[in-house]
Amino acid sequence: MPQGSSPLLELTQITKAFGGVEALRGIDFALSPGEIHGLVGENGAGKSTLMKIIAGVHPEFSGRFMLDGRETRFRSTRDARAAGIAMVHQELSVAPDLSVAENVFLGVQPTNALGFVQWRRMAREAGEQLSRFGIDVDPTARLGDLPIGLQQLIEIARVLFSGARIIILDEPTSALSPPEVERLFATLRRLRDAGSAIIFISHFIEDILGISDTVTVFRNGRKVMDTAAGATIKATLIEAMIGKGREALEETYTHDVALPAPSETPVVLEASGLSLARSLNDVSFQARAGEVLGVYGFMGCGQLELARILFGKLKPDRGQLQVAGETKAFGSTADARRAGIAFVPESRRAMLFHQEPVYKNVSISILDRISSLWLKPSQEREIAMRQVEQLQIRPSAVELDLGMLSGGNQQKVALAKWLTFPPRVLVLCEPTRGMDVGAKNDVIHIIRHLREQGLAIVVLSTEPETVLSLADRIIVLKRGAVVREFTGEKISKDRLLEAA
Ligand SMILES: Nc1ncnc2c1ncn2[C@@H]1O[C@H](COP(=O)(O)OP(=O)(O)OP(=O)(O)O)[C@@H](O)[C@H]1O
Ligand SMILES: [Mg+2]
What pLDDT, in 10s, does the model give residues 420-469?
Answer: 667 899 999 888 877 777 778 878 888 888 898 899 999 999 888 889 99
> Helix or strand or coil: residue 331?
coil
Q: Whose CA is nearest to atom 31 of ligand 1?
A: 405
8 Å CB contact between 90 and 407: yes
For the CA of 405, the closest atom of ligand 1 is 31
48 CA to centre of ligand 1 in angstroms:
7
333 CA to centre of ligand 2 in angstroms:
31
pTM of the complete model beyond 0.85: no
Q: Whose CA is nearest to atom 17 of ligand 1?
A: 406
For the CA of 41, the closest atom of ligand 1 is 21
Mean of per-residue pLDDT scores for the chain: 85
Which of 2-6, 209-213, 217-221, 386-390 bottoms out in mean pLDDT, i.e. has the lowest?
2-6
DSSP structural state of residue 144: G
Convert the pLDDT of each residue in 98-109 to its tens digit. Answer: 899 988 887 677
- pLDDT band for position 2 (cuts 50, 70, 90): very low
* Residue range(s) in the chain whose domain bears CATH number 3.40.50.300: 9-242, 257-499
Q: Is the pLDDT of residue 252 over 50?
A: no
Average pLDDT in the 217-242 region? 90
Convert the pLDDT of each residue in 326-375 to its tens digit. Answer: 998 888 888 888 898 988 876 555 567 777 788 877 776 555 544 445 56
> How many C-beta neighbours within 10 Å does residue 210 have?
14
CATH homologous superfamily for 257-499? P-loop containing nucleotide triphosphate hydrolases (3.40.50.300)
Return the bridge partners of 99, or none: 142
Q: Whose CA is nearest to atom 2 of ligand 1?
A: 404
Contacts of 93 (CB under 8 A, 6+ apart): 155
- Among 49, 90, 391, 396, which is best to mutate for testing ligand 1, by the most ligand atoms less than 8 A from CB? 49
Q: What is the pLDDT of residue 364?
A: 66
Q: Which residues surround ligand 2, an ion (CB under 5 A)?
A: 48, 90, 407
Q: What is the pLDDT of residue 365?
A: 58
Radius of gyration of the CA atoms of the chain, in A: 23
Q: Is the pLDDT of residue 492 over 80?
A: yes
Pocket, ligand 1, Cβ cutoff 6 A:
18, 21, 23, 41, 43-49, 90, 395, 404-409, 436
8 Å CB contact between 34 and 197: yes
Distance between CA 61 and CA 79 in Å, rounded?
16
Q: Is the dihedral of CA 393, 399, 405, 410 positive or negative?
A: positive
Q: Supply the CATH classification number for the domain 9-242.
A: 3.40.50.300
397 CA to centre of ligand 1 in angstroms:
14
341: part of which helix (H) or strand (E)? strand 341-344
The upper half-sphere exposure of residue 322, i.e. CA atoms within 13 Å in the direction of its Cβ, equals: 15
125: part of which helix (H) or strand (E)? helix 119-132
Q: Is the pLDDT of residue 149 over 50?
A: yes
Q: Which amino acid is at 418?
A: W
Convert the pLDDT of each residue in 57-81 to its tens digit. Answer: 999 999 999 999 999 999 999 999 9
8 Å CB contact between 456 and 268: yes
Q: What is the pLDDT of residue 359?
A: 81
Q: Is the pLDDT of residue 251 over 50?
A: no
Q: What is the pLDDT of residue 245?
A: 47
Q: Which residues of 354-383 are buried (b: 16+ CB within 10 A; e: fewer)?
A: eeebbbbbbbbbbeebeeeeeeeeeebbeb
For the CA of 408, the closest atom of ligand 1 is 26
Backbone phi, then psi, for 232, in 5-degree steps? -140, 170
More confident residue, 499 or 251: 499
β 473-478/481-487 pair status: antiparallel
Q: Whose CA is nearest to atom 3 of ligand 1?
A: 404
What is the distance of C-alpha 142 from the center of its chain?
22
377: part of which helix (H) or strand (E)? helix 377-390
Distance between CA 343 and CA 311 in Å, rounded?
7
Average pLDDT in the 143-161 region? 85
